[in-house]
Amino acid sequence: MNIPDLNGKTALVTGASRGIGKAIAVALAKAGAHVLALARTSGALEELDDEIKAAGGNASLIPMDLIEGDNIERLAGALTERFEKLDILVLNAAILGELAPLPDIDPKVWKQTLDLNVTANWRLLRALDPILRKSDSGHVMFLTSAVGGEYARAFWGAYAVSKAALEMLAETYAEETKKSSLHISIVNPGATRTDMRALAMPGEDPMTLPAPEELTPMIYEALADKRTELKRYSFRQWRENGN
């Protein structure tokens, strides 16, 4: 596994307290980045901090709800004041929403799903774009799902629509930044052993699925990929290619 040198880099990871976000946060810290770990649950963030410190890494914890008030704008102000630049932004935070036929989805749940999975990410881009552009080789990574573009799945409407919108958000941002020093990637981790997967597929044996930590080599590869165009990574395809 080729570990990139992220010493001196600052990385913000949303949804960092568990699952894929936690695995990415730990991976970035092990590579030398100062990780800004954002999530709603303080206790889980403290456990992450312990793990990062045990691995010799460095993290700052940000217990915050991304869809509450002007939290994002205040966060951007604080980061701008404290750091000269932001080198890596991992947009991972998401909720599953309600698995139900489209006519039966609670409008409040629909709005909450789109607010977090799409609008919060747009607001993060909007607020953090200035300090991302100050990095000499910044990277914005969007975490997606196969139901966001590869195929439709009944009853997954709110989540699927949110991920499809997220992918177009990434594609648009990639077009708008292609003459800058920023790199944009869309990462599809596939079925992974997470709490969200267990909620969506309660009858599935989680031990048949890869653990979030198994994504680490692909995440490192994506960060090291300096192609100027939008980069797409699928864990299933990555493994099929012999990695």
Among 27, 211, 218, 212, smallest CA distance to 11 is for: 27
Catalytic residue numbers read 159
pLDDT of residue 204: 85
Domain membership of residue 17 (yes or no) is: yes
| Sequential DSSP letters for 196-223 | HHHHH-TTS-GGGS--GGGGHHHHHHHH
Domain membership of residue 95 (yes or no) is: yes
Structural domains in the chain (count): 1
CATH number of the domain bearing residue 225: 3.40.50.720
Domain membership of residue 170 (yes or no) is: yes
Domain membership of residue 37 (yes or no) is: yes
Domain membership of residue 89 (yes or no) is: yes
> pTM for the whole thing?
0.95
116: left (phi over 0), alpha (psi -120 to 50) or beta: alpha
Domain membership of residue 5 (yes or no) is: no
Q: One digit per residue, pLDDT tens: the chain, 243 residues?
A: 789 999 999 999 999 999 999 999 999 999 999 999 999 999 999 999 999 999 999 999 999 999 999 999 999 999 999 998 999 999 999 999 999 999 999 999 999 999 999 999 999 999 999 999 999 999 999 999 987 777 788 998 999 999 999 999 999 999 999 999 999 999 999 888 988 888 888 888 889 988 999 999 999 999 999 888 899 999 999 988 887
Note down the domain range covering 226: 10-240
Domain membership of residue 4 (yes or no) is: no
Domain membership of residue 2 (yes or no) is: no
Task: Report how far residue 42's alpha carbon sits from residue 106's, in angstroms, rounded to the nearest whole number.
Answer: 29
